[in-house]
Structure 1
Amino acid sequence: MLEGTGDYRVLRRLQPLADHPGTPDEPTFIGLVVDVETTGTDFAADEVIELGILKFEYGASGRIYRVLETLNQLHEPRKPIPAEITRLTGITDADVAGRRIDDAAVARITADAAVVIAHNASFDRQMCEPRWPVFRDKNWGCSCHQIPWRAEGHEGLKLGYLLADCGLFHRGHRAIDDCHALLALLARPLQVSGQLALAALLATARKPTVRLWAQGSPIETKELLKARRYRWSGRRRCWYIDLDEDQIEIERSFLIEAIYRRPISDLPADRFTARDRYSARTNPEQGA
């Protein structure tokens, strides 16, 4: 009745995704939705205190058929959990006392996955890889940045905002609850195109991307580069931008005309795929 008036929007509590009826009539694969809660955001110093994984079967079309396995475990860090993390997640030192994530179980559940998906894959991947090497050789997708949410009518990219747009709510900032929320979003058709969200993510994740470095750019052009969405690498002392392969020549032309103002042909570029994208191996502030 409230919704029928047009004056109200009603949010319903998210329920775990139900199995799709019937037998798949297409090739199927194994995917993982992963989420971590941590003591902070410093990849070198902070630790995972909760790991959630949903293992699921999906088809070549992007249709999700069923959840195969669930893992949700707590871990006691070396140092007390900061108060702000407890306020955010509700996880206390007492909750994690004596608890340890089962590394063998993580390796087993992850071994046959074709893709690992997180809502901020750059963070989750870099937190997971040092602890569980099985994640290093997996294809990763980012549901936050590899689905065109804004073009599909959503103003915010946070999990809670996207759920609310779909008339749903959940208990956020706990690993397995965020995993269930994300899987539910991936299973839905997008609002404008009608394409399944998982299909849109997979199509983007499969495309190679190129990181183009504006090596030796004049310092007075930094505002132009920032406006163009270039980012600064303190380690390499250089501006860079990540692009689809078909955008590279357009971007080189921009740099020649607006930044260097002279012909230039030797700008360095790095090519990434889902196998190494979002990894510390490709983070310009870490590793190689």
Structure 2
Amino acid sequence: MFQDASDLAAMAETLSQSTDYRVLRRLVPRPSSIPAPGQETRTGILLDTETTGLDHARDEIIELGMVKFDYSADGRIVSLRDTFSAFNEPSAPIPPEVTALTGITDDMVAGHKIEEAAVNAFVDGAVISIAHNAGFDRKFAERYWPVFEDMAWGCSATEVDWRNGAGFFHQAHRAVDDCHALLEILDFTLPATGAPALAVLLETARKTTTRIWAEQSPFELKDSLKNRGYRWNDGSDGRPKSWHIDVCETALDDELTFLRTEIYLRNVEPRLQTLTAFSRFSCRV
């Protein structure tokens, strides 16, 4: 028997109250709007890139999607200002596996170029860029458009604890569609904190962290470093060929003690880098 939207919503709500079911709701893009007169807000950008590969130094952007939005001081999304979606023709054919993943073909991008002036105009007035994998998207964005070098960045994948988080699904894989989906996810109130995900992300992004480089650490102890959360950098990007980890200020002393007592077995002073939202996720650090 046919059931209207209100019937389906009631059924979903009933199921969600049971511990035996999880209900997923389709993410629906919201219409554009502007903040109410006199409402204090800041402006952010949600950004997603589709590329020919994973190497930010050699691979190329084939699509850029952005959503410009306003948010309140308590991290609640107030309005969707505008959207940006554009193709970029790479210097070589798009690999078949990329087309299979994104649906973007050589014919779709032929003759297209993303103009820097258009990107600059869209980004103007925003105080932060957010991507779901900022460690990937920021590196590509900075290479193409220097305006992103001086912006604060946040990462919705690493700076929000999504355990028991939003029960939504999203099937599209076009850049601007992913941005619309991310906007709705960031508006979700996290059960653990009672705050919207965006507020949690912003609070995390504002914190200073320290990157510790465990240079010349003993090879036989690599598993100890990996198990503790250290990541390997092969040195091909000009940064040290070394294991490294990012820690908050309160955890710095404990991490240095770990390196001195369990890795180097002596008093060492490893290379430290201070990171903020303006430098975090950039290939320049």
Class of the TM-score when normalised by the shorter of the 2 chains:
0.7 to 0.9
The correspondence for 1:281, drawn from 248, 267, 284, is: 284
Aligned-partner SS, 1:41: coil
| Residue 249 of structure 1 pairs with residue 253 of structure 2 | yes
TM-superposition CA deviations, 1:10-59 (whole Å, max 9, x none):
54432113578983776311100000111111212211111111111111
CA spacing shift, 1:194–1:18, aligned 2, 3 Å: farther
| Aligned-partner Cα distance in 2 for 1:255–1:111 | 43
Deviation (angstroms), 1:230: 1.2
How high is the sequence identity, in percent, across the aligned residues?
Answer: 47
- What is the number of residues matched between the two proteins? 268
Hey, what does 2:40 align to over in structure 1?
Answer: 27
The CA RMSD measured in Å over matched residues stands at 2.1
Hey, what does 1:158 align to over in structure 2?
Answer: none
Hey, what does 1:80 align to over in structure 2?
Answer: 93
| Aligned-partner Cα distance in 1 for 2:254–2:146 | 37
| Residue 263 of structure 1 pairs with residue 267 of structure 2 | yes
| Aligned-partner Cα distance in 2 for 1:216–1:83 | 40
| Aligned-partner Cα distance in 1 for 2:133–2:216 | 31
CA spacing shift, 1:21–1:213, aligned 2, 3 Å: closer
CA spacing shift, 1:128–1:22, aligned 2, 3 Å: closer
Q: How does 1:12-161 map to 2 (within 5 A)?
A: 12-17=25-30, 23=36, 27-150=40-163, 153-154=164-165
| Aligned-partner Cα distance in 1 for 2:216–2:247 | 19
**TM-score between the two structures when normalised by the length of structure 2:** 0.87
Hey, what does 2:229 align to over in structure 1?
Answer: 229
| Residue 182 of structure 1 pairs with residue 185 of structure 2 | no
CA spacing shift, 1:21–1:214, aligned 2, 3 Å: closer
8 Å CA contact 1:74–1:101 kept in 2: the answer is yes
Q: Which amino acid aligns with 2:154?
A: G
* Structure 1: stretches of 5+ with no match in the other structure: 155-164, 283-288
8 Å CA contact 1:111–1:134 kept in 2: the answer is no
Hey, what does 1:220 align to over in structure 2?
Answer: 220
Q: Which amino acid aligns with 1:255?
A: L
Q: Which amino acid aligns with 1:110?
A: V
8 Å CA contact 2:33–2:81 kept in 1: the answer is no
**TM-score between the two structures when normalised by the length of structure 1:** 0.86
Deviation (angstroms), 1:184: 0.3
* Structure 2: stretches of 5+ with no match in the other structure: 1-7
Deviation (angstroms), 1:9: 5.1
Deviation (angstroms), 1:225: 1.2
Hey, what does 1:199 align to over in structure 2?
Answer: 199
CA spacing shift, 1:228–1:103, aligned 2, 3 Å: same
| Aligned-partner Cα distance in 1 for 2:197–2:33 | 16
| Aligned-partner Cα distance in 1 for 2:263–2:107 | 55
TM-superposition CA deviations, 1:56-84 (whole Å, max 9, x none):
11111101111111111111111111111
CA spacing shift, 1:170–1:24, aligned 2, 3 Å: farther
Deviation (angstroms), 1:262: 2.7
CA spacing shift, 1:8–1:199, aligned 2, 3 Å: closer
8 Å CA contact 1:24–1:65 kept in 2: the answer is no
CA spacing shift, 1:269–1:8, aligned 2, 3 Å: closer
8 Å CA contact 2:34–2:80 kept in 1: the answer is no
8 Å CA contact 1:188–1:196 kept in 2: the answer is yes
